[in-house]
């Protein structure tokens, strides 16, 4: 059975593809801001700190019996808190920024591993969250993904011109009366939410590939932010569909396959552009 036939007969596979497309829309848009603003290192720290929220919620659910503690909610809280902490340090203690980013990165990962190690059956959860398992998505996850999609798209449409000024000329934006600090923190929060969306697809270790590579490829061929966004969204969707198809055919992990395909396309784009 080929991939297209499997989509029609396997609801899990279809849900996984829908989740990938939902994550691709926002990751393409927010990833464009990340690439243009050059905050990839900050985004990497947030993505790894997310494991602390996941680990705590898994421990609460499996070891303590709190069924409301969904790992996705924990990831969202941890991502937003990490983004705000790093953003605050960047704005007010810039000389310590690198150290704080490294600390948030390591503390988040360490807390996550410690809590997961105390959770029954932790090996499966740890693997899925680290390298991704898009087939693991549930109808509740899909609903949350689309809700976050709508919220992020609404905010971006409302504030795009201000984000544009923040990314390309922060000082000019400040002179024009734009609340640069608040806008910067909001951009980091949106990045954090996008990271949580992508964890469902490619996992924590590979999330930066899908957040930055499609936008970086688009940026090779245009410098206009709106076109970078459109190109990144289209590339993210194509990579998700193609990667899922390749993973199904060879029985490979879907997240790693999507990230690997993205990397290959980026290298090919560099060669072609040269």
- What is the pLDDT at residue 95? 58
Of 122 and 53, the one with more pLDDT: 53
Cα separations in angstroms, 19 against 24, 142, 175, 224, 237: 9, 6, 41, 28, 11
Q: pLDDT at position 61, please?
A: 87
For residue 106, pLDDT beyond 80: yes
Q: How many CB atoms lie within 10 A of CB 261?
A: 21
Residue 252, CA distances (Å) to 169, 192, 204, 245, 249 in order: 43, 27, 17, 10, 8
169 close to 180: Cβ distance less than 8 angstroms: no
DSSP string, 126-191: HHHHHH--GGG--HHHHHHHHHHHHHHHHHHHHHHHHHHHHHH-HHHHHHTT--HHHHHHHHHHHH
The band of 1, judged by pLDDT with boundaries at 50, 70 and 90, is low
What pLDDT does 122 receive? Answer: 59
CA dist 144 → 82, 122, 156, 217 (Å): 20, 24, 18, 28
Highest mean pLDDT among 67-71, 130-134, 232-236, 249-253: 232-236
The predicted pLDDT at position 253 comes to 84
Work out the average pLDDT over 203-225: 90
What average pLDDT does the chain have?
A: 87
Instruction: Identify the residue with better confidence: 143 or 127.
Output: 143
Residues 209-237, mean pLDDT to the nearest whole number: 93
pTM score, two decimals?
A: 0.89
**Residue 133 φ/ψ region, left for φ over 0, alpha for ψ in the -120 to 50 degree band, beta for the rest:** beta
User: What is the pLDDT at residue 81?
Assistant: 94
User: Is residue 139 within 8 Å of residue 18, measured between CB atoms?
Assistant: no
Model pLDDT, residue 125:
65
Which pLDDT belongs to residue 158?
A: 94
Could you say which DSSP state residue 64 is in?
T
Contacts 24+ apart (CB under 8 A), 153-158: 153/25, 153/26, 153/29, 155/186, 155/190, 156/29, 156/30, 156/190
pLDDT digits (tens, 9 = 90+) for 14-47: 888 888 888 888 889 999 999 999 888 888 899 9
Could you tell me the pLDDT band of residue 189, with boundaries at 50, 70 and 90?
Answer: very high
pLDDT given at position 124: 65
Q: In order of start, what are the domains of the chain with their CATH numbers? A: 3-273 (1.10.3470.10)
pLDDT of 96 reads 66
Residues 6+ apart with CB under 8 A from 84: 185, 188, 189
d(CA 45, CA 53): 14
High-pLDDT (> 90) share of the chain, %: 35
pLDDT at residue 11, rounded to an integer: 83
């Amino acid at each position: 059975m080929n991939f297209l036939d499997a989509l029609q007969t396997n609801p899990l596979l279809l849900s996984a593809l829908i989740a990938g497309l939902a994550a691709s829309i926002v990751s393409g848009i927010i990833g464009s801001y990340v690439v243009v603003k050059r905050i990839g290192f900050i985004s990497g720290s947030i993505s790894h700190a997310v494991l602390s929220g996941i680990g705590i919620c898994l421990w609460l659910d499996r070891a303590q019996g709190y069924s409301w503690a969904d790992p996705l909610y924990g990831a969202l809280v941890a991502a937003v808190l990490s983004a705000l902490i790093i953003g605050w340090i960047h704005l007010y203690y810039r000389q310590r920024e690198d150290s704080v980013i490294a600390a948030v990165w390591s503390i988040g990962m360490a807390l996550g591993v410690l809590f997961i190690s105390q959770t029954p059956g932790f090996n499966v959860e740890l693997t899925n969250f680290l390298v991704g398992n898009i087939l693991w998505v549930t109808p509740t996850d899909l609903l949350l993904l689309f809700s976050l999609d709508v919220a992020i798209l609404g905010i971006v449409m409302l504030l795009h011109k201000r984000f544009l000024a923040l990314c390309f000329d922060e000082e000019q934006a400040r002179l024009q009366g734009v609340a640069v600090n608040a806008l910067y923190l909001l951009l980091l929060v949106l990045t954090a939410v996008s990271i949580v969306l992508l964890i469902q697809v490619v996992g924590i270790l590979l999330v930066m590939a899908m957040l930055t590579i499609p936008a970086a490829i688009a940026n090779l061929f245009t410098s206009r932010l709106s076109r970078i966004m459109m190109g990144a969204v289209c590339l993210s969707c194509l990579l998700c569909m193609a990667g899922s198809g390749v993973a199904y055919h060879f029985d490979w992990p879907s997240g790693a396959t999507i990230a690997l395909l993205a990397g290959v396309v980026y290298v090919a784009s560099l060669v072609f552009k040269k």
